[in-house]
Amino acid sequence: MNNALAVSGIVLKELYRRKDFYVLFILTALITLVMGSFKLFNDDKIVRYLKEICLLLIWVSSMVIAITTAARQLPAEKENRTIFPLLAKPITRGQLVLGKFLGCWFSSGLALLLFYVFFGVISGTREHQWPVLNYLQALSLHWIFLGVVIALVLLGSVVFTAVSSNATISFIVIVGILFVARHLNKIALQLAEPGRSIVYTIYFAVPHLELFDVRQLIIHNLPLIPWNMWLIACVYGIAYSLFFLLATWMVFRRKSLN
């Protein structure tokens, strides 16, 4: 575990050396502040549109950070040939995969924390209420979501040859799941066999990432998610992350590094 944490520390340092996060954060803040500066119908209590825009930007930024960071980890080590001294430490391939995952996940979490603090300050100053627990639920679910995404992208990085193709395919798959996964059962019910069974199987098999997107609850100031449901969702997300990590390790341990 120490080896994995050491690797994750390097990934974490990489995040604050790179400019991706700063650019995305400044862009998010700038767009939100500009949108917030409009006074619509002389009413400064209108806030939900601003929350929606800010949360959308946070989701897009966090996905971009997570996917681009995770996609280049293993290919970059191979390309720079630093993977050989790394594995000679000795670190097992499993520890390397775990370390890369933890590094990406922690760095995404750190970025997410800053984004949500900004969001909380913006919405709090406009709404004059601070639903901290709701924000904590949204932040934690969002972080779990990024864990699944990072694990999925790491799996992609040992399957696909190029970083760009992995990042693009992962992005399309994740966005597709976010938009369609919840509705696959409805689509299945309208189909004849064997289409119905196939679509229903896909519905049960795909990770339901949309569960972690609770933006609508935050935007419309809806009550907290029951904590037992929140816990089950966290376990569900962590289980999928472990599944993808295990799959990554299984592919990576047999993969030639040359």
Partner 1 sequence: MASPRFILAFLFTICLSCVSYLEPWYQKWSGAENRSGDFLSVLIGDSRRLFSNQMVAKADAYFHSGYYPTIFDAPKEKEESHLSGDNDAEAGHDEDHDEQPGSTNHVEHAEHQHSATCGHNQKSEDGFLGPPKDWIDRFGRKFFPSQHSHLESGGEREILPWLRLSAELDPQRIDTYTVAAYWLRKRLGKIDEAEQFLRDGLRANPDSYELYFQLGQIFAENRNNLVRARNLLEIALRKWQEQEKAGLKPNELSYQQITGNLAKLEEKSGNVAQAIFYLKLLQEKSPVPQTIQQQIDDLQKK
**Sequence-ordered alpha helix ranges (H) in 18-127:** 20-36, 48-79, 83-87, 93-127
Give the contacts of 59 (CB within 8 A, at least 6 positions apart).
142, 213, 215
- Region near partner 1 per CB under 8 A, out of 20-28, 46-54, 107-115, 147-155: 46-54
The tokens for 98 are 């775990």
The tokens for 169 are 């395919």
- Looking only at residues 65 through 124 of this chain, which bind partner 1 when binding is defined by CB under 8 A? none
Nearer to partner 1, 25 or 143 (CB): 143
**Count of positions on this chain that bind partner 1 (CB under 8 A):** 35
Q: Which residue in the block uniquely carries the two structure tokens 């694990």?
A: 151
Does 211 bind partner 1 (CB under 8 A)? Our answer is yes
Using CB under 8 A, pick the residue from 169, 217, 238, 251 that binds partner 1.
217
Does 240 bind partner 1 (CB under 8 A)? Our answer is no
CA distance 163 to 30: 30
Does 54 bind partner 1 (CB under 8 A)? Our answer is no
- Region near partner 1 per CB under 8 A, out of 8-16, 96-104, 159-167, 221-229: 221-229
Nearer to partner 1, 172 or 229 (CB): 229
Is there a contact between 131 and 221 (Cβ–Cβ < 8 Å)?
yes
Does 189 bind partner 1 (CB under 8 A)? Our answer is yes
CA distance 127 to 45: 7
Tell which residue, 145, 138, 120, has the closest CA to residue 130.
120
Is there a contact between 125 and 87 (Cβ–Cβ < 8 Å)?
no
In the complex, what is the shortest distance from the CB of residue 46 to partner 1, in angstroms, rounded to a whole number? 5
Is there a contact between 75 and 157 (Cβ–Cβ < 8 Å)?
yes
Using CB under 8 A, pick the residue from 232, 235, 239, 257 that binds partner 1.
232
Does 48 bind partner 1 (CB under 8 A)? Our answer is yes
Using CB under 8 A, pick the residue from 4, 65, 163, 225 that binds partner 1.
225
Q: Which residues bind partner 1 (CB under 8 A)?
A: 40-43, 45-49, 141, 182-183, 185-187, 189-190, 203-204, 208, 210-214, 216-217, 219-220, 222, 225-226, 229, 232-233
